[in-house]
Chains A and B, each alone.
Chain A
Amino acid sequence: MATEYVKFVDVTKCDGCRACMVACKNWNDLPAEPQDFLGSAQSHTKTTADTWNVLQYIEHENSKGDLDYLFRHSACFHCTDAACEKVCPENAISYTEFGTVVIDHEKCVGCGYCVNNCPFEVISLKEYIDKNGDKYRKANKCTMCTDRLEEGLQPACVTTCHTGAMEFGDKAAMIKKAEERVSQIKDRYPNAMVYNPQGVGGTHTVYVLAEKPSVYGLPENPKVPTSAVVWKDYAQPIGKMMIGATTMAVVGAFITNTLMSKKNGKNEDGGEHHE
């Protein structure tokens, strides 16, 4: 991997225009998902199989008792240690040379293990109908426009952002920028922080958040679920060893039995008389 790139999202510069949502739909050919009014300016509750990024609108009472209207561009974080990649039984989810995490629909069987293990809950299953009328499912999420990255372009959401709230660039430089930004806004947002959670090895979308992660509905310390680690790193390999071991044992038993009965065949006395 040459340069490691991250998407840097400075939520304090976002004006909530939702151009990123439109650009994403446009580039990725995703159909619109009409929704009933949810009680705020926010269009969808969370990301879905056809809506890979959602702009959050949060009315938050800050520590001074004032109202803060917070925005956040939400999409896949592209974790360095991605739980979805770990639990996928078909190796359909993989890391690209850019550090992005992508789903191969040729391999995906729609089991939903990734959906239920993603610490950020950004993956969804979509139901398709094939030409015979049979239904099948595939997991969907933001690809960080990996197909654009491959062509030397930036993600569609970043390109379209008119306030400069999003930037795509060298990881170290972006993190440095994020840290500087936090120190600039500390007096206005005392809880401001860089969100690049280490529990998942850092992410390829790095945020400057104005408030604590929980205010945005984000986990304070996301990690690959312990159950997933025990499952994939211990239970599954040990299980495979165990069936190998018992199979070897019975094969061994069969061989020694054959040898023994040959040896004892003449005097037909194995201490016992079985047929």
Chain B
Amino acid sequence: MSKPQKSNVKVRRFSKAFVWAHGVNAISFLALYITALPMYTEFFDWLYPVLGGPEGARLLHRIFAVTFVLPTFIWVIFDWKGFKLWMKELVTWKKRDLEFFTEFVKELFGFNFKHVRQTFFNAGEKINSIIQIFTALLIIGSGIPMWFSEYFPRAVVQWGYLLHNVGFGLAIAVVVGHVYLSVIHKNSKPGYSGVITGEVPAWWAQEHYPDWYDEEVAKGNFPEIDKDGNPKKPTSPDKKKKKGA
């Protein structure tokens, strides 16, 4: 496109720990979904031979079940500050978060919209996080009695089947939107490379998370930039390093 070229000055958005935690979570979730898919719907029964028969699928599902539990620990242990910020953001709800959703719907379908000022996580990311935390608890909490059914009362196992189903049914529906927004949707695409490398274009960060960006500028972590993302003339004294959020 013939639009003015944006500067590719980057700033660090996510710590390495978060990048790993997110990656392990994503791969585990998809692997768990695929290894269980033939049991969810017979349309995918052809996956059994691919996965090494029902026994192979069962074994893989249990391996990825273990890796699915790891991300929280990775994040908590290696980036406690980032995890704490996440938790704090999740319980902070203001009027602008509601405004965000009205604008989000317009943006989603490609209509004109305005950016609502957001902090480190926008309201959509917060909703996504809350649903994923809730469903992960459901899935893990019910998966344990399903796996080790001989150690649990029958009623717990029986309700476990239901909660497992509710958990992943809700989770996958949200994941579809989450993946679309990062991988395909044009305005939020830089978020996808951001969650893999940990870094995002400065202009994009400022546009999408102005409160966070300004805060980091005030701390001297991020450069002040103009509309196209180029550092402003009187460059702040910190040419040194962009530090983690």
Q: Would A116 and B40 be within 8 Å (CB), given that A238-B169, A257-B109, A274-B186 are in contact? A: no
The contact sample of 19 A-B pairs, CB cut-off 8 A, is: A89-B40, A90-B42, A110-B54, A111-B58, A117-B158, A121-B154, A236-B40, A236-B169, A239-B166, A239-B169, A239-B172, A239-B173, A247-B176, A253-B185, A258-B110, A260-B111, A268-B2, A270-B112, A272-B112
Cβ-closest chain A residue relative to B1: A275
- Pair A113/B161 contact, Cβ less than 8 Å: yes
- Which DSSP category, helix, strand, loop or mixed, fits chain B's interface? helix
A215 at the interface (CB under 8 A from B): no
Check if A213 is an interface residue, CB within 8 A of chain B. no
Q: Do A227 and B158 form a contact, CB below 8 Å, given A235-B166, A242-B169?
A: yes
Contacts of B157 in A (CB 8 A): 116
Q: Tell which of A90, A235, A238, A275 has the most Cβ of chain B within 10 Å.
A: A275
With A252-B109, A268-B3, A274-B187 known as contacts, the answer to whether A136 contacts B55 (CB < 8 A) is yes
As a 0/1 sequence over residues 101 to 113 of chain A, the CB contacts with chain B under 8 angstroms (1 = contact) are: 0000000011111
Encode contact with B along A25-61: 1 for CB under 8 Å, 0 otherwise. Answer: 0000000000000000000000000000000000000
- Given A242-B173, A253-B108; A236-B113 close (CB under 8 Å): no
Are A261 and B110 CB-contacts (below 8 A) given A228-B161, A235-B165, A247-B176?
yes
- A134 proximal to B (CB < 8 A): yes
A243 with B169: CB separation less than 8 A: yes
Cα–Cα, bound, A274→B229 (Å): 12
Interface string of B109-130 (1 = CB under 8 A from A): 1111111000000000000000
Chain A residues within 8 Å of B30, by CB: none
A243 to B170, CA, bound (A): 8
- Residue B53 interfacial (CB < 8 Å): yes
- Kindly state whether residue A1 has any CB partner on chain B within 8 Å: no
Q: Which of A242, A245, A271 contacts B112 (CB 8 A)?
A: A271
CA A91 – CA B6 in complex, angstroms? Answer: 56
Q: Which of A231, A247, A259, A274 has the most CB of B within 10 A?
A: A274
**Could you tell me if A109 and B166 are in contact, using CB atoms closer than 8 angstroms?**
no
A243 contacts B115, CB within 8 Å?
no
Question: Chain B, 36-63, contact with A by CB distance < 8 Å: what is the 0/1 string?
Answer: 0001111001001000011100100000
Q: A243-B169, A243-B176 are in contact. Are A231 and B39 (CB under 8 A)?
A: no
Whether a CB of chain A sits under 8 angstroms from the CB of B177 is yes
Q: Are B110 and A253 in contact (CB under 8 A)?
A: yes
From B4, B162, B177, contact of A230 by CB (8 A): B162
Instruction: List the A residue with the shortest CB-CB distance to B109.
Output: A256
Residues of A within 8 A of B (CB): 87, 89-91, 109-113, 116-117, 121, 134-137, 225, 227-228, 230-231, 235-236, 238-240, 242-243, 245-247, 249-250, 252-254, 256-261, 268, 270-275
With A116-B158, A239-B165, A275-B6 given, is the CB distance from A136 to B173 under 8 Å?
no
* Residues in B whose Cβ lies below 8 Å from that of A91: 42
Q: How far is the CB of B201 from chain A (nearest CB, A)?
A: 9
Q: Are A134 and B111 in contact (CB under 8 A)?
A: no
Return B104 CB to nearest CB of chain A, in Å: 11
Q: Mark B46-82, 1 if CB is under 8 A from A, else 0.
A: 0010000111001000000000000000000000000
Check if B55 sits within 8 Å of A135, measured CB to CB: yes
Is B54's CB under 8 angstroms from A111's CB? yes
A90: which of B39, B162, B165 is its contact (CB, 8 Å)? B39
Query: Contacts of A253 on B, CB cut-off 8 Å?
Result: 108-110, 180, 185
Closest 4 CB pairs of A and B: A239-B169, A260-B110, A109-B54, A257-B110
- Which A-chain residue is minimally distant from B180 (CB atoms)? A250
B134 / chain A contacts, CB cutoff of 8 Å: none
Any A CB within 8 A of the CB of B245: no
The residues of B that contact A246 with a CB separation of less than 8 Å are: 173-174, 176-177
Complex-state Cα separation, A270 to B186, whole angstroms: 13
Since A242-B169, A272-B112, A273-B4 are in contact, a sample of 20 more A-B pairs with Cβ atoms closer than 8 Å, ordered by chain A residue number, is: A90-B39, A91-B42, A111-B54, A116-B154, A116-B158, A136-B55, A225-B155, A227-B161, A235-B166, A239-B169, A240-B41, A242-B170, A250-B184, A253-B108, A253-B185, A260-B109, A260-B110, A272-B115, A272-B207, A275-B3
Whole-angstrom distance between the Cβ of B230 and the nearest chain A Cβ: 14
| Chain A nearest CB, measured from B130 CB (Å) | 17
| A136 in contact with B54 (CB, 8 Å) | yes
A110→B4 CA distance, assembly (Å):
60
| A224, B66: Cα distance in complex, Å | 32
